[in-house]
Structure 1
């Protein structure tokens, strides 16, 4: 998955004040211990669209309903809207870069494209609060939607993924955070919004654990114990962290990763849910091209030999003004 390698509180702004639920659309809300990633497909017809519009317009109310059950542990929810329903739902033209996830087929591995009209990224330090907010959302949406994918994530030890590496160290911090994640003057209609790409990666842990620690570190491009960057390879296959770093004449382009581990050991399922927020969708797309096609082409990211994407979907997280306007629609 695009480099997910942490920082205190994900390198973000401070949490909401004690006793205050976090408002929806807070892309920079602090990383929590539990999360739900819910991808839905909206049914055809005006009635279904009207139901979705009503629920999204009141998303803040649902967050408050759940959040006030434990004021010391905020719950938050960010909603992303896919390109297929964007215009019908909002009555507006799509954001400049919004389009369906584009399948990327390399010689050895493929980044698949899967359905999804709505993404709900729910997170809290309490798993039961995530569960409750998801339950209320699905109850409110009813038959207007079907579930395309549902993943419950958790923080694993000191923010490591199930491959054993610290997750999130490359995230932007401070003033770089909004610069990297929030749309600006380049698309003023949607300034303050963010593009988000999600992929569910399944790991072959047995094969991964058969490697030596040194082999794993060379694939990731960081030390396993403390996440220190290793020198880039002079030639041949590049490390994951190198392929997932995008630079051009304007410098390095960061994204915000909220990745979380998930799994069901009894079913042999172990994975990482990649979720990347970006001001520019093309940055994430370039990362994936470098990973799956290779740079140069043919030299793919070796992490993909052990991690297979089962989903791939793109959304736009609108500013709250867009959600508020749905109430008048």
Structure 2
């Protein structure tokens, strides 16, 4: 049985660094140089990592790529003025650990190894905020699967699949309007999120608005819950603050279903009220192969 990339599930995420790259060329020499660089990165990291690929690059690495039905992110434009722009790149590297030195050194290693092969299109350092809270003050990921098996079921392709133990990935950089959100009474904030702020208890019955974040993202299709495994990370500096959303799923459509519900693109015409206070500025889909397949790719 193939093994998933362990970084998907490693809990040592006090510090994170997200790197998104565009490959300079897709000719054979560049692809071979990329494989060698990724091998050197994998062999010399001193923190956890996940390596994932955009569709166009993946087609040059996997002769069974078509079996995935893997698509690029397409811009979403909701009827109420909200957008999620497509910023699809070729290579995603997520570095994370409890030691900031190790994560920073790993970022430097990636930059050194990929110099001349790939151009850095986005970098986003992030951090664990308090007890796993978003910068809005609400606990993030409360609905995540709790045990190992449930996490794997949500995040990984099953053993019956040609790409078993791989994972579809969605990344989005969301910039929060904290000044406006913080003007709201806590009770109003809780209605927007769908959970209590101090202890993250899900609202129930008439207390749960249909346009809350929980209501729009907690969905079943044919009685199957569209569960994701979320590993999102807050980021912030003096100029902007927000959340680098990171989700893993066994089916790419799970992301699309949730996003369409968030942006008011479903038949009910309801959108997620939370996106009035947070703007998506980057969005991309990726595929993170199993560790077994990744090792095969970078060594052949």
Alignment TM-score > 0.5, same fold: yes
Q: Map of 1:185-224 to 2, 5 A cutoff?
A: 185=159, 188-224=161-197
For 2:90 and 2:178, locate their aligned partners in 1 and report how far apart those are by CA, in whole Å: 31
Is the 8 Å Cα contact of residues 7 and 49 (structure 2) preserved in structure 1? Answer: yes
For 2:211 and 2:280, locate their aligned partners in 1 and report how far apart those are by CA, in whole Å: 20
For 2:55 and 2:6, locate their aligned partners in 1 and report how far apart those are by CA, in whole Å: 18
Is the 8 Å Cα contact of residues 56 and 323 (structure 1) preserved in structure 2? Answer: no
Match of 1:36 in 2: 17
Is the 8 Å Cα contact of residues 71 and 285 (structure 2) preserved in structure 1? Answer: yes
Listed one character per residue, the Cα deviations across residues 242-266 of structure 1 (whole Å, up to 9, x for unaligned) are: 111121224312111111110112x
Match of 2:153 in 1: 179
Residue 189 of structure 1: SS of its match in structure 2?
coil
Name structure 1 gaps, 5 residues minimum: 1-22, 68-74
Match of 1:289 in 2: 260
1:97 aligns with 2:79: no
Is the 8 Å Cα contact of residues 191 and 207 (structure 2) preserved in structure 1? Answer: no
1:244 aligns with 2:217: yes
Cα distance, 1:94 vs structure 2:
3.8
Candidates 217, 241, 262, aligned match of 2:235 = 262
Change over 3 Å in CA distance of 1:102–1:60 after alignment to 2: same
Q: Map of 1:1-329 to 2, 5 A cutoff?
A: 24-44=5-25, 45-63=27-45, 67=46, 75-107=47-79, 108-174=81-147, 175-185=149-159, 188-233=161-206, 237-265=210-238, 267=239, 269-293=240-264, 296-329=267-300
Is the 8 Å Cα contact of residues 137 and 197 (structure 2) preserved in structure 1? Answer: yes
Name structure 2 gaps, 5 residues minimum: none
Change over 3 Å in CA distance of 1:32–1:236 after alignment to 2: closer
Match of 1:4 in 2: none
Change over 3 Å in CA distance of 1:213–1:85 after alignment to 2: same
Provide TM-score, normalisation by structure 1.
0.84
Provide TM-score, normalisation by structure 2.
0.92
For 1:29 and 1:93, locate their aligned partners in 2 and report how far apart those are by CA, in whole Å: 27
Listed one character per residue, the Cα deviations across residues 145-182 of structure 1 (whole Å, up to 9, x for unaligned) are: 01111100101111111111011111112121111111
Change over 3 Å in CA distance of 1:126–1:96 after alignment to 2: same
Residue 174 of structure 2: SS of its match in structure 1?
strand
Listed one character per residue, the Cα deviations across residues 110-164 of structure 1 (whole Å, up to 9, x for unaligned) are: 1111031111011000122111111111101111101111100101111111111
CA-atom RMSD, angstroms?
1.9
Cα distance, 1:327 vs structure 2:
3.9
